[in-house]
Each structure stands twice: as structure tokens, then as C-alpha cells.
Structure 1
Amino acid sequence: MAEAERITGTPEPEPGSGTDPVAGAEGGGPAEPEQGAARGKRRIAALLVVAVLVYLLDLGSKLLVVEKLEHHEPIEVIGTLLQFSVIRNRGAAFGIGEALTIFLTIIAAAVIAVIARIARKLYSLPWALALGLLLGGAFGNLTDRIFRSPGVFEGGVVDFIAPAHFAVFNLADSAIVCGGILIVILSFRGLDPDGTVHKD
């Protein structure tokens, strides 16, 4: 065996090295878990980047419109079809459930906890983007409910994007809706957060 390896140029593994010349060319088994861990970290980083961008854009826009537009006449962006007009919404969409502000705050916190749990096994970039949109939007509106008047966990969310014949909303709402739509699309296509594809 040693003579054949000398002739073909294949080095004989040293005793106790544990190196298999057949399986060792690609680094063997240990490389795959390391690559998977690195990939997971990149997906989590993408989720956090998207979430932070959404949160900062939402927070900045709310601070600006409260300072410049609240208690003023609406600003026409596209005539009467689209205006900027500040309202404080203590309920859900369309102002429904104003008496449930604390309950809505708990739901937002639960959504954040679920996203954190899913992120542990996140290997799909589209899912990272979708969850980042949801996370940033949830944090944006949760910040309003915690810190704005009339009190902690009862604060009114600042809405200011007012299309004609539609509910007034904000950038956090838009991010949540876009993230939800993307998750529905990914689910219909059979793509799971861990990157695997299933078919019913």
C-alpha cells in the first residue's frame, strides 16, 4: 500500500492524524456546520439591519410630522388623493379597539418575542427581510404606545399618511403590511425560515 502511494504521489496519512485522504479534500464534515452557522449569522444581521432602518425611518418621520404638522392644516401631497395629516391612534387600524390599547401593546411585544425565537434557526434571506420589516414596524408602534401620552402602554400611535377614502397610517404600519405579505408569499411557495423548501 505504501509503495503504491509512493508511486502515485498520494501521501500516506500520519498515524493518529485522523485525516482521510478521500474525505479531507473539502475539509470533511466539520466545514458544513461552520458554514451553516456563518450563514445564519449573516441572515440575522440582515434582519437586524432592515429592522433598524425601518425603526429609524418610522421614528424620524413621526418626530418630524408631530413637530411640523400636528395642530396644523393637512399638507396635500397629491391633491386630495394623498395628504399628510397627524392623528393619534390609540386603537388598531381604522381606529378600531381604542379601549384595547394595553392589549394591542401586549400583542406587539408577543410578535417581537416570536420573531426573536424564529431568528435562532433563520437561514433564508427573504425570511430575514420579511421578519426585519415586521420587527422594525412592531418596535416603531410599540415605542409610541409606551412613551407617548396619555401614559405608559396607553400611548396613541402617530399616524400621518392619509390616502383618500382609506385609513390613516404610518411607515411602521406599511412595513408590517409588506412583511406580512412577503411571509404569505414565502409560505405559499413552501420556503421555510430555515431555508428548506417543502411541498404539501
Structure 2
Amino acid sequence: MKATMTILVLLFSLVLVSPLGAAEKANYPAPRFPSYLKPPKSIDDIMPFARAAVRQTGGRTPLGLAEKGTAALIVTEVGADPMVMQAIKRAYEERGIKIYVVSEHELLGVNKEDALKAIRSSRWYTGEQGYMEVRHWLDDLFIDAEVPKKWLKERRPDLYNAIYAKGDDAPQKERELAKQFGGPTVAEAMIKYLDQHADIKAVFWRRGGRPRTARLLAA
């Protein structure tokens, strides 16, 4: 009986291992940019996607929740593509919705070039440096950021240097300006803007309408 069970276990193991071994030997093509994705040349190229976006009532940023006959505000990041935002605006207007599109730097009264320079000096990374996401957690979500930073530096100096070395090279003025975007300072400016535009019934800002965003505007 034991011998039979041993044989069955060995056979089962071979069944599991064989596909894995085959997968390891497979030759996959090198990663490359999808050929079917082409940069839009005009607003008309974007409109089909913009119309779909302003009708979406679910997901992380449901632009379709704005109702016909009302007004909505979209607060964009400094680097938002103007042509895309124009397409979104037109799509909303087709639905009978008045739309205000305002950038964060406009709300703060900051020159766009200065804003972009400040943001890029501290947010130079892309998705390729996935470990950089932890910087947001350390800098923004702790009451005293120096405590977790000290902890990380002592235990993983290599990771600490990878996260902070380059951003810390930026001038202090640019780093301070970059901190103004996407947080409480913009929220305060938005509240003032909303007080001046009482017709606005929906606000779209940041990514996903998370509770922290709502709390910033409710303050």
C-alpha cells in the first residue's frame, strides 16, 4: 500500500513539474511598445474615448456621475495633456454638462514652467523604479517622516539611498514647491474656487476619489 502511495505521489509531482519545466524553456519575445497604440493627432482622435469616459459611472474615477444640466469641476495635474482635457470638456458639453477644467498650478497661482520643473526635480522616476512608491508613504503618511526614514536608513541603507539620493539633490525651493501639489494646499485653493462657483455640483480631483481626498475638501 505504501509503495502504491509513493508511486502516485511521484506521478503527481511529475505532472506538476512538467509544465513548469516547459515554461522555463519557452522563448518569449522581448518587451516592446504595442504597435496598435498611436499618439492622437487631433481632438477628433480622442473623442470616442472621451465620450466613453464621461459616461462611465463605475470604477475609480467615474466621470459619468455628473448629471445633465449641472456643472462639474476637474482639477488636473500640472502635466495633464491639454488636448485630452479639451476632448473631455467637449464630451461633457455634448451631455449637457458645464465643465470647468483648472490645473493645480493655476489654483495656486504658480507659473506652469516653474511648477513642472519643481515636480520633475522630485518626481523624476517612472514605473520602472517601483520601489519609489514607498517614498510617498514615508514622506506623507507619517506625522514625523524622519522616524521611518531613520529606521529604513539603519536597516536598508542601499534602499534608502536609492529612494532619496537623487530627489535630495534638487534645490530646496523646488522641493518645497513640489510639496504644494496634490495635497492640502491645493484643497484649500479648491474650496475657495468652489465658493466662487456655486453652480458646481461635482468635483473630480486626484486619482480614484479616495477617502483622504474627500477629507481634504471637507476640512
* TM-score normalised over the length of structure 1: 0.24
Kindly name which structure, 1 or 2, has the bigger radius of gyration based on alpha carbons: 1
* TM-score, with structure 2 as normaliser: 0.23
